[in-house]
Structure formats: structure tokens, C-alpha cells
Structure 1
Amino acid sequence: MMKYAVYALLILVVFYTACKGQNKTDLPKDTITSETKELITSYGPNHIARTIKQDRKGNIWIAAFDGVFRYNGTSFTNITSKVSSARFFSVLEDRNGALWFGSIGAGVYYYDGNSFRNFTTRDGLINNEVVCIYEDKIGHVWFGANGGVSRYDGKSFRNYRLNGGSMVEDRTGIPFPDFTRPPHEINAIIEDKTGKFWFGTRDNTFVYDGKTFTNTTSMGQPFTNVRSIIEDKMGTIWLGGTNGLWRYDGSTFTNITQNFVGYIYEDKKGNIWTSSETAQGWVLSRYEAKTLSNKTPLVTELNPKEGRMLFGILEASDGSIWFGADGVYRYDGSRITDFKK
């Protein structure tokens, strides 16, 4: 493995700117694909890495344009190289320890550690281009896709479509045809502490209370092209996208920065990390936990990959920060390790 250690310049900056549906589809029984022996290497993905997660065993999973990679602490394995040549955008470990991988064009892959099962529009998935995956409090798995979202209850899918600036329940049971690319996709899904669901899309942002989808606005203006949404340990909602980084305390939206934000992550100490585009290029920003309620939270910026868009962020169990760009990188507090070939 070729590791390139790049000493990062840390600059301290204080900013002054801041689903219930009717359609059900019985799934076929013959969609199991046996796992084949994969090549183990010392390097990770060589292309864009969109999402990074750590499972309960400590393995790090990376959804990338050249496959889904598993890092066990010493080596990488491309788990999907013999299963699909699709680009992968998302990965989720569910409460049972199984993995879900969202692809662009090939639907969703379910992996139980031994074999794969592929779900597509033929099985009721709303679209085969799956951008994000989320598991709710009762174990339903949600798939954010181009054109809408699918909810899977372990037996069948229920779908909700983006429809001219709104979201609606899809009662037809008819998914988008293969190779159809609707104009907007679901980028982010969360369930907040009250049980409401938030959907960030390339169109508007919606809150779903189980019956009605509400278009989320601040001072009459919608939040458009939201790329990432989280709820932090204190119950505060954070939204990031074209309109910058926003904080919602349950009654008021506050703008933290107007820079484009691609990803939001909360670490174990309660600090908020973002990937954002600034005048100096793409940066990782860490907003200090103790100052988050301030009008101008204290922020530290790290400029790790000049000119490269930054994607998923993860704090691993050892405290290191992993992030995706043109490959996957690890920041240990003093240097950045590049895991490309």
C-alpha cells in the first residue's frame, strides 16, 4: 500500500455568517446470489468514495464508484467486485448486522455476510438509482432514490414520489422504468426524536408525520438541494446543502454558514463535522460542541484535498476521522493517510 502522509494545516476560524403507502409487492424467492472469493489488497478504492460506515465488529465499509470495500484494520476487500460493476453510493448496517448497499443503476444489494440478494424495480423498489439508505426506529429500511423513496418492512416495498415540488404517497405500485432518471433524488433521510421523518432532496425538503408531507421553509423560503441531514445528541436538526449549514432547535432555523455543505456528521464528543466548499476549496470543518448553541460557533478547518469534493465522514472507534474524495482518507489528528493504489 502506498501511503501518502500529508500534514494538514489547521486554521482556527470564527464564522459570523453564518411513510405509509398502499402498494405492496411480494418479493421473489430466487434473488439470492452466492458470494465468491474476493481479492484482498492493501489499498482501498481508487475512485470517488461516497459513504463510509463502521460496523459492530469494527470493520469499515466504503461505498465507492469502483465497488463496496471492507477494511478490517490491515487490508481492504472489494466485496462487490464479482457481483456488480455498478457505482455504489450508500451503505448501511441494520440492527441484525446485515449490510445494505445502494447502487446507481443496479438497485440495492443485501449482504448477510455470506451471500447477496439484489432488489430492483422488478421487486417494487421505486428506482434502481439508490442514493441513501436509512433504518428507522422500528426496523424498516428506507431507500432514497431518484424520483422518490421506498420503505421496506422485510417483506415488501411502499413507495413515495417526488411530484412537482411536493412528495406524495404512490398508490400505483408502478416503479420508474429501468434507465429512467427523474429530475430530483432523495439525498438524505432521518427520523427525529418525535418520530417525524425528514427528507432532503435536490428539490425541496420535506417533513413527514406519517400522514402528511410538509414543505420545510425558513422565513417563507424553501430549503432546496439539501444533501445531508442529521439529528444530534441534543435533538437539534442540522441541514446542509446549497443554502449552507442550518441548525433547527425545534422552533427556529439558524444559518451557520452560507457555504455549500455536502455532508454533516456528529462525533463522539458532540462536535459537528461538515464537508463544505469555500473560497479556498473543499474543507472539513469541525464545529466545537460547547459552542454549537452560539450564534457564531467556533470552527476549525482542515483543507485535505485541494480542489477535490469531499463526501462521507466517519469517526472510527480509534478516534480517527475518515472521509471520502477520490478514494478514502484517514486523519489521525496530525496527518492524512491516502489509501489509493
Structure 2
Amino acid sequence: MTKLVYVCALLLSVLCASCGGKKIDLPKDTINYNIKDTVTSYGPNTMVRNVKQDRNGDILIAASWGGVFRYDGKSFTNIASKIGSRRYWDVLEDRRGNLWFASTDSGVYHYDGKSFQHFTTREGLANNAVMSIYEDKAGIIWFGTGGGISRYDGESFRNFTTKDGLPNNAVTTILEDKTGKLWIGTRGEACFYDGKTFTVFRNQDGKAFNNVWGMTEDKKGAIWFGATIIEDKKGDTLIVTSGLWRYDGSAFTKINQRSTSAIIEDKKGNIWTTGAVKPNGVGAWKLFRYDQNSLYNKKPIVTEIMSIEKMLCGILEAKDGSIWFGSLNGVYRYDGKTITDFKSKEDQK
């Protein structure tokens, strides 16, 4: 057990504000459409918190202060050049082909390929610090913010906070499972939402799972996530344990004691994670692959793909099977043999 120091507290100062309302067009004087998208042969050299893929197979990269980039296999285009520098945290292409950019300092931007719309607390967003964007099976867009969850149906927002039963307003990740239930990670207790009630999920000892930043559902319908559990409290110090967990619908199984920040399942059924060796984020961060044939064994087969003395963030499996993952200073690709760093030679120093 060790003293808990939340890594993400160093990266994000959560703002608190909430209100209701409908979307409006972004004021014309805040976007300079005369600015051309920046195109470069190299990827961003700032923190890449999340990596996604669009319907054309292009890679979408949310780089804090660097921009939102689209990689077409040859070059990187900063499609947020017209907006300017923001603390971009997530990106999503919805089913209509529109892009959403989440920032932790200025709300959300919606881009239809021609123009932008800006959503902040003024338009109804729960909070301007947005850490995650998720589209559910019905096409509803959910935003995890520093002040609760915002549900957007294309016309208006509905916000959920601790006043509605949410256990913590700092929402880090959202996942809809096969039954339609939403699993919600926060910087406090994690929970699930059945459309009516928020329920904190707890282990067999009745202890809640805290500081959940990544979740995925495997082919069997089990939920995998990394979390910390508060074992004791001494004054202002929390005594915690970290681990990778799996929930099969009836019981929680602790896979190991590794800290996990992001997690996905690939097409073959392997589980991939990024996380720090130590719960306080000091020391090496690693990219692991858990072999699909041994996932439900007492000790799954684990392969260490990469170790680096800097934070590793979100993970994506691209359509070609390559694994992309963000870091504190750029984005990487693993093709099964080679790890590619897309920064310039100067930035790699």
C-alpha cells in the first residue's frame, strides 16, 4: 500500500460551474477562417491524451496545447488551427461524420467540416473542463466534465451532478455496455447508470472503486477497468491499493496490482493497458498486452510492449491492427514489431 497522489491532479485543474440551455452558433469573431490548417510530416510533441479513428481510417489525435490532428498515413493536419491553442483532451467522430473536440479549459467544439460550433456552460454544458466524449448506441452524445455529466441530444443539454446521485462530479470516462447501462469513471467513486439511478459499484468487501480513467467491455460482456481502492485514511493521507479489475456481471476479480490509466480490447480479444508502475505515477509507465487465450486464467499471460519514464495515455487499435497510444510528449504506433515515434528528430532528443 502507498500514499495516493493523483497523477491527473497535476495535469488538470477542475473547474466547477453548471447551467442549462441550448446550443447556439459560435460568435463569428472567435474563429479566424482565414487561417489554413497546418500540415506537417511530424506528429505533435505535446501531451496526447486520446487517440481515435474516423470512418475513413484516418487517425485522430487530441494533443493538449498542440491541436487536434488528423493523420492520413502520410502527413499530420492540425484541424483545430482555426480555433487556436487549447488544452485538448479528447476527440470523436460521431455517426453523422461530425467531429467533436473536448478541451479542459474551454468546453467543446463541434466541427461539421465547414464551420465550428462552441459549447460551454453558457450553452448548457455542465462544466468547461471536458475530459471525455462518448456516443451511445442511440446517437446521444455524452460529455464527462469537471462538473458532472452532460447529455446532448442534438438540440439541448441535460446535466447530471451529485445532486442527481452522481457520486463525484469530476467525470473521466464513460462506457455503454451491451445491456445499455452506462459505466462512469470519476476521480472519486465509479458508478453505473441504468437510465434512472446512479449506483456506486463495490468489491466483495464493500469498498468502492476510485479514480477510474479507462474501461472496456470484452467479447464475453465483462467490464475491465483500472482503479484504486481506499483501504484506510490517516489524517489527510489516503492509504490505497491499485489494480486491474474485471467484472463478469456477478463478481469483481482483481487481475493484478498494476496501475492502469487506459484500456482497450483488440479485434483478436487481447486486452491492452497503459499505466504507471507505481500508483503515484513516479517511475516507468508501461504498455502491456494481455493474451486473449489466457484472460480468464488465474494469471493471464502478459507481454510488456514498451516502458518509458513519461506518462502513457489513451490507446487505439486502428483498422489495420496497429496499436496507437498517446504519451506525455507525442503519439506512438506499434505495428506488432516496431514502435514508431512520430516526433521530429529534434523533438525526440
TM-score computed with the length of structure 2 as normaliser: 0.83
- Please give the secondary structure, in 1, of the residue aligned with 2:313: coil
Q: Which region of structure 1 is more displaced relative to structure 2, 108-117 or 195-204?
A: 108-117
**Cα displacement (A) at 1:229:** 1.3
1:54 matches 2:56: no
Cα separation, 1, equivalents of 2:317 and 2:152: 28
Aligned residue for 1:194? Answer: 179
Partner of 1:3: none
Distance 1:61 1:273 in 2: 19
2:272 aligned with 1:273: yes
- 1:26 Cα shift? 2.7
User: What is the CA distance between 1:188 and its match in structure 2?
Assistant: 0.9
Residue 25 (structure 2) pairs with residue 25 (structure 1): no
Is this contact kept in 2: 1:26–1:156, CA < 8 A?
yes
Question: What is the letter of the counterpart of residue 40 of structure 2?
Answer: T
Q: Distance in 2 between matches of 1:24 and 1:47?
A: 33
Matches within 5 A, 1:319-330: 319-325=321-327, 326-330=329-333
Contact 2:188-2:210 within 8 A present in 1 as well: yes
Pick the structure with more strand per residue. 1
Report the alpha carbon displacement of residue 81 of structure 1 after superposing the two structures with TM.
Answer: 2.2
DSSP 3-state at the match of 2:122: helix
* Aligned-residue offset at 1:126: 0.5
- The 1:339/1:30 distance shift into structure 2, 3 A limit, reads closer
AA matched with 1:289 = Q
Q: Secondary structure at the match of 1:226?
A: coil
Q: Which runs of 5+ in 1 are unaligned?
A: 1-22, 169-182
Distance 1:62 1:30, change over 3 A: closer
Judged with a 3 Å threshold, the aligned counterparts in structure 2 of structure 1 residues 134 and 237 are, in CA distance, closer, same or farther, namely: same
Which structure carries more relative contact order (alpha carbon 8 Å, separation 6+)? 1
2:191/2:198 contact within 8 Å kept: yes
Aligned length: 303
Counting only pairs closer than 5 Å after superposition, residues 150-165 of structure 1 correspond to structure 2 as: 150-162=150-162
1:263 aligns with 2:231: no
Partner of 1:236: 222
- Aligned Cα RMSD in Å? 1.9
Instruction: Tell me which residue corresponds to 2:13.
Output: none
Matched residue, 1:247: 246
* Higher deviation after alignment, 239-248 or 282-291: 239-248
User: CA separation of 1:109/1:29 partners in 2, compared to 1, >3 Å: closer, same or farther?
Assistant: closer
In 1, the alpha carbon distance for the partners of 2:188 and 2:302 equals: 29
Per-residue displacement from partner, 1:66-107 (whole Å, max 9, x unpaired)? 111110110001111221311100011111111111001110
1:31 shift after superposition = 4.9
Aligned residue among 291, 295, 299 for 2:294: 291
CA distance in 2, matches of 1:38, 1:30: 19
SS of the equivalent of 1:195 reads coil
Output the amino acid matched with 2:187: R
What's the counterpart of residue 312 of structure 1? 314
Q: Deviations over 1:239-271 (max 9, x none)?
A: 113332100110010001112100001111111
Contact 1:185–1:202 under 8 Å retained in 2: yes
TM-fit CA distance, 1:29: 4.0
Question: Per the alignment, in what secondary structure is the counterpart of residue 69 of structure 2?
Answer: strand
* Paired residue type of 1:121: T
| CA contact 1:275–1:284 (8 Å) conserved in 2 | yes
Is 1:114 aligned to 2:110, yes or no?
A: no
Measured against aligned partners, the alpha-carbon deviations of 1:22-68 in whole angstroms (never above 9, x if no partner) come to: x8523224557575421210011111000001111011000011111
Contact 2:36–2:81 (CA under 8 A) maintained in structure 1: no
Three-state SS of the structure 2 residue aligned to 1:143 is: strand
CA distance in 2, matches of 1:195, 1:59: 28
Question: How far 1:273 sits from its partner (Å)?
Answer: 0.1
Please tell me whether the aligned partners of residues 202 and 225 of structure 1 are also in contact (alpha carbons under 8 angstroms): yes
Answer yes or no: is the 8 Å Cα contact 2:100–2:111 preserved in 1. Answer: yes
CA contact (8 A) 2:26 2:116 kept: no
Q: Which amino acid aligns with 1:197?
A: L
> Match for 1:150: what amino acid?
S
In the alignment, the residues of structure 2 paired with residue 187 and residue 294 of structure 1 have an alpha-carbon distance, to the nearest angstrom, of 29
